[in-house]
Structure 1
Amino acid sequence: MSRASDYDSPKSYTLVWVATLLLIVGFVTGLVMFPPMYETPKDEATSSVLFVGRFHPILLHMPVGALGLLCLMELICFTRRGEESLGVGALLTLWVGAAGSVMAVLAGIMLSREGGYEGGNFTLHQTLALIGTCGVLLALVVRIFSMSHENRELMHAYRALFFGSFGLMGLGAHFGGNMSHGSKFMTEHAPEPIKSQITGMEKWMLSFVEKPKTKGEPAAPEASPTPAPVPTPVPTPVPIPVPVPVVASSGTTPTPPPPTPPPPTPPAGSSSGPDEKLVFQHVILPIFEAKCNKCHNEDKSKGDLRLDTYEMALKGGENGKNIVAGKPEDSLTVQRIALPDDDDEHMPPDGKEQLTPAEAAAIRYWIQSGASETMKVSEAQFPPEAKEAVKL
């Protein structure tokens, strides 16, 4: 039998129709059981739900690989010969990519039940992934229909729908990367034209979903002795010599010129240059940003804990006060840092960049000194072991 006759022979798509309908029913059922949430859940999820949710980072690679391969296949399938050669393979790849998308989205929704996921990046990540997955499922239905009816015009509509849906999923993945690695992960080393375009796109999209930022209510620090500020020496005014009147030859005494006023004395406690730097803003917060805030920020607050602002840091999380002013031994931050690296409660967790001894000592000193937001570096008396972390 010739090769052409194979293409002209009728094909049955009953099996793929059944598999696709089961996939759609499973997706809808999953969304009904676990509807998407955009705020911290009120009820604690079961262990089985969280167990499945932890597979989200693994499952999301399957649709990325399958749908990425399909993009190349569809470029070949634009021609009639390419469609005849790769059409069935493209359909199978599309089904695998759609199934992977469904599993990744449902696992991601289950993972969000763990709490600590909120903010603009999370909203866009989840929303775009949902829309993209629905688009891929619809594209799958359109491709099966166009192949079974040999409708090339409908095939063009399918490709437009598929590429658009895949693009939305890519955008959703980008905002998911912002949650996991920080908003500068993709742009930090990008060329300036690309960086400006990506940054502008992010700001524009986030403007539709982000709530107005409001400062959280700071937790009232427990009473603790705050170290007295080191008094700044007040410069003693230099006496200005008064010119001695000179008797003129005519015997009259000329009026002396008025004395020049002394320079203004700076108020006590004021300083300039590096002395104006604050301990929290310029020493402690950069440590949090480098070692803690990938999991404790506005978009991803694991354990309902944020360390990206002073107010949020003092507010604490679901396990209690992470910072107890004047009492580092009662502060969860210090306790978790001091645990052995292999302890499940140690922070940062195993596999993440750890704090240096100097950084840990700096945090401990700041809390011991009262955890002030306004204490200046010039007033602080960091212990020798913390000096390495105070490079300004």
Structure 2
Amino acid sequence: MTDIARAAEAATAAMRDVFPATPLQRNDYLSDRFGADIWLKREDLTPVRSYKLRGAFNAMRKMAGGRVACASAGNHAQGVAWMCRHLGVEGVIFMPVTTPGQKVAKTRLFGGDRVEIRLTGDFFDDTLAAAKAWCADSGAQFLSPFDDADVIEGQASVAVEIAEQMGGMPDLIVLPVGGGGLSAGMLGYLRARGTVPDMRFVEPLGGASLTAALAAGHPVTLETLDNFVDGAAVARIGAKPFEILRQVPPQHVLRVPENRICITIQELLNTEGVVLEPAGALSVDALRDLGPEIAGRRVVCITTGGNFDFERLPDVKERAMRYAGLKKYFVLRMPQRPGALRDFLSILGPNDDIARFEYLKKSARNFGTVLIGIETTTPEAIPALESRMDELGFAWRDLTDDPLLGELVI
């Protein structure tokens, strides 16, 4: 065993004086569904409901003192805030303006009078730049959420605990990737220990920074970023994590669509009572793509966070229905004559429901443009409705997956 492995195990042992190990739980629902032995490493059950406390603890216990600052979409912020209060250290925490209110409030709660929160930037990378600039001017110590050797070492404790709790390694570990701190820490520890199981690394489709880095051979900045999976949507993977991850086979990196993650969030909430944020559900959602590959195998999924703002639940439901084909938005060219609306209503199926109806404008003297949202109970109902609209001569356009028109109209 190398010094890297010993350091990770020492960090894990030191954590036990501050917070307990997170549970490793077999999930019968997922095991039955996928025909495998599925276990969840419940990082959503740390004192700050995410694994980020580990890296913050390990890095801050090694600091010489003085003010500390960080930039975070929420979970790293909460970990740093919790440790500031625990250690009696003053902290300044920079968060994107778009951070869910629940995470901002929790960060204030965990840090108490030891932390100051500054909301700046629409995306994490803007927030990161502001935090670093402030540290350069003030002399405060900057604590990266992932691009820091001590943080990476602290995140490795997840793998240390799995080995202890399972008495060895599972056949497969599925874990999310954002900036790379957790994945690099776990992979680095397992390599040093000489017991690397099969691993799959999961990214949100709209924030696949590891995929881009592996293709280029070095970290690159994504041109566009979908920040819905705010705990893992990072435009550029960390340089230090990538040095550990650069040998990961590209085919072992999975990219999952944001809207499908919403289906997984709802399923775990409704069937298991497990509350996960979008990033926390990444590894479980990826089981859909692994399919026969995991049949009969022991699989550990890392559920990295449970800081879910329930004000987002309507958006999660909307996204889930759209991905499942149960909700569509159409722009419909409606004749301006008596009975035209009745003709349209007559073609709706028995389980089709109008969720939205809005006249946008009259496109001609005898026609008007209507925005209509349809909810139904089976995916087959929507194509059937489209066929009936064609048969009756209605001119229509599907806006559901049009990113530009969807943002402007829906």
- State the TM-score bracket (shorter-chain normalisation): under 0.3
What TM-score do the two structures reach when normalised by structure 1? 0.25
Normalized per residue, which structure has more strand?
Answer: 2
